[in-house]
A and B are shown apart, each in its own frame.
Chain A
């Protein structure tokens, strides 16, 4: 027997919304947007995503593309990917019990977008920009020189981390003044495709009217820290994934 569930995308407060091939559940002025899926098919799809990064990308991007289109029409509160509700009654009860929470979030997200900033570092360039005050090891014995070299490497590592932290804080300070809210987040990513190390991940909730200014600031900061081997990447607009709690 086929088992169906409601694959969820988001909650909006627009009951006039017109979108094809979607399943709507409403409560007062809230609408939960989803689609009916066969659970078995969904399982297979996820297994396919596990099997192949390309399929994973396809499944996730399709989900995100739908939300992107929705975002252009209205304010959205996104669900975590893979949230499947049991039935229509359960979804309606959920909307009813979470009504106040959603109204609060929708108010906060109205006319605002999430943007993500990642700070990457080319450690070779970055370390070259630091004066490590390396002492000569020429007149020392082999063993002593080895330990001193290790000590200097340890100090260099510490100095590098401190400077990276300091620069990250400066970047955050420069950007957060343009945002309504910000979050310092984590990522599963460790390296860029160029091999740079991921140093910091920030998420900002920004008024749409300030986004141009925000991206100008990102470009300015990117230029400022470029000589130290830092690179800033900006992505958005995202649904406010990082600000739902």
Chain B
């Protein structure tokens, strides 16, 4: 029993198998939540919890910054490319950031820089965009939103067409005509995405607790 305990501690402490995301999942979302008057004063509670909320919502930023999600996901910061670069530029409409502190950050107990350095990709040095109003980004954000809605409608209509084809309500000629129309629509959407440097996964909306739009 004693041996098992020693081995298990090594897994967490020494082998660094725990990712930042696993820490975030537990520390920010789990554990005892104390409520009521014992927790600071009202104004300060708002501040603390506001910050924690932002911390949690920035998890996806962490995924991007750490290059998590390769393959078809397109989430890798390593890939570079115009869109990835934009994510970290000022004015990304998806993120609202607080003002950075004026002074250097000091952790209360002195942080072990070695471990942190080792676990962070070297190319990620600074990922703190600040909100501003840049007409170019606003335009691109709007294009992305419009194309997302068009893509949603296109997919819904395509699914409906498949259901009708399966149900046998359409003649062979009708199926063929409809198929060609949808094929061209898909090709046209592909062209538009290319024109605006957008990938498939960019045309989606995060609906929070409801998940993603598509």
Chains A and B bind each other? yes
A interface residues (Cβ-Cβ under 8 A, vs B):
3, 5, 7-8, 11, 21, 35, 37, 39, 41-66, 68, 72, 77-86, 90-91, 93-94, 113, 116, 118, 123-124, 141-147, 150-151, 154, 185, 187-196, 201, 208-209, 211-212, 215, 233-239, 241-242, 244
**What are the residues of chain B within 8 A of A91 when measuring CB–CB?**
38
Q: Does B179 belong to the interface (CB within 8 Å)?
A: yes
Instruction: Given A39-B44, A45-B107, A53-B120, answer yes or no on A242-B26 (Cβ-Cβ < 8 Å).
Output: yes
**What are the residues of chain B within 8 A of A93 when measuring CB–CB?**
38
Instruction: Given A37-B108, A189-B59, A190-B63, answer yes or no on A144-B172 (Cβ-Cβ < 8 Å).
Output: yes
Query: Chain B nearest CB: distance from A196 CB in Å?
Result: 8
- Is A48 a contact of B101 with CB atoms below 8 Å? yes
Contact of A143 among B5, B37, B175 (CB under 8 A): B175
Output the nearest chain A residue to B130 by Cβ-Cβ distance.
A51
Taken together as a complex, chains A and B put the C-alpha atoms of A154 and B166 apart, in Å, by 13
Taken together as a complex, chains A and B put the C-alpha atoms of A173 and B55 apart, in Å, by 34
Contact of B178 among A47, A64, A77, A147 (CB under 8 A): A147
**What are the residues of chain B within 8 A of A3 when measuring CB–CB?**
44
Contact of A141 among B1, B100, B176 (CB under 8 A): B176
- Is A80 a contact of B31 with CB atoms below 8 Å? yes
Q: Does B149 belong to the interface (CB within 8 Å)?
A: no
- Is A72 a contact of B9 with CB atoms below 8 Å? yes
Q: Does B167 belong to the interface (CB within 8 Å)?
A: no
Q: Does B138 belong to the interface (CB within 8 Å)?
A: no
Contact of B52 among A46, A142, A191, A234 (CB under 8 A): A46
- Is B60 a contact of A47 with CB atoms below 8 Å? no
Taken together as a complex, chains A and B put the C-alpha atoms of A91 and B40 apart, in Å, by 11
Output the nearest chain B residue to A82 by Cβ-Cβ distance.
B52
Query: Chain A nearest CB: distance from B95 CB in Å?
Result: 10
- Is B179 a contact of A141 with CB atoms below 8 Å? yes
**What are the residues of chain B within 8 A of A244 when measuring CB–CB?**
30-32
- Is B55 a contact of A49 with CB atoms below 8 Å? yes
Contact of A154 among B37, B76, B162 (CB under 8 A): B162
**What are the residues of chain B within 8 A of A84 when measuring CB–CB?**
39-40, 44, 48
- Is B175 a contact of A53 with CB atoms below 8 Å? no
- Is A43 a contact of B58 with CB atoms below 8 Å? no
**What are the residues of chain B within 8 A of A113 when measuring CB–CB?**
8
Contact of B116 among A54, A187, A194 (CB under 8 A): A54
Taken together as a complex, chains A and B put the C-alpha atoms of A62 and B178 apart, in Å, by 60
**What are the residues of chain B within 8 A of A185 when measuring CB–CB?**
25
Residue from B34, B126, B159 with most neighbouring chain A CB atoms (10 Å): B34
**What are the residues of chain A within 8 A of B119 when measuring CB–CB?**
57
Output the nearest chain B residue to A91 by Cβ-Cβ distance.
B38
- Is A58 a contact of B21 with CB atoms below 8 Å? no
- Is A43 a contact of B175 with CB atoms below 8 Å? no
- Is A236 a contact of B116 with CB atoms below 8 Å? no
- Is A45 a contact of B70 with CB atoms below 8 Å? no
**What are the residues of chain B within 8 A of A37 when measuring CB–CB?**
108
Residue from B19, B27, B181 with most neighbouring chain A CB atoms (10 Å): B27
**What are the residues of chain B within 8 A of A68 when measuring CB–CB?**
9, 12-13
Taken together as a complex, chains A and B put the C-alpha atoms of A196 and B73 apart, in Å, by 9
- Is A211 a contact of B4 with CB atoms below 8 Å? yes
- Is A60 a contact of B32 with CB atoms below 8 Å? no
Q: Does B61 belong to the interface (CB within 8 Å)?
A: yes
Taken together as a complex, chains A and B put the C-alpha atoms of A81 and B68 apart, in Å, by 24
Taken together as a complex, chains A and B put the C-alpha atoms of A66 and B111 apart, in Å, by 12
- Is A151 a contact of B1 with CB atoms below 8 Å? no
Binary contact readout B152-174 vs A (1 if CB under 8 angstroms, 0 otherwise): 00000011011001100000100
Q: Does B133 belong to the interface (CB within 8 Å)?
A: no
Output the nearest chain B residue to A71 by Cβ-Cβ distance.
B9
**What are the residues of chain A within 8 A of B117 when measuring CB–CB?**
54
- Is A83 a contact of B26 with CB atoms below 8 Å? no
Query: Chain A nearest CB: distance from B210 CB in Å?
Result: 13
Taken together as a complex, chains A and B put the C-alpha atoms of A90 and B35 apart, in Å, by 11
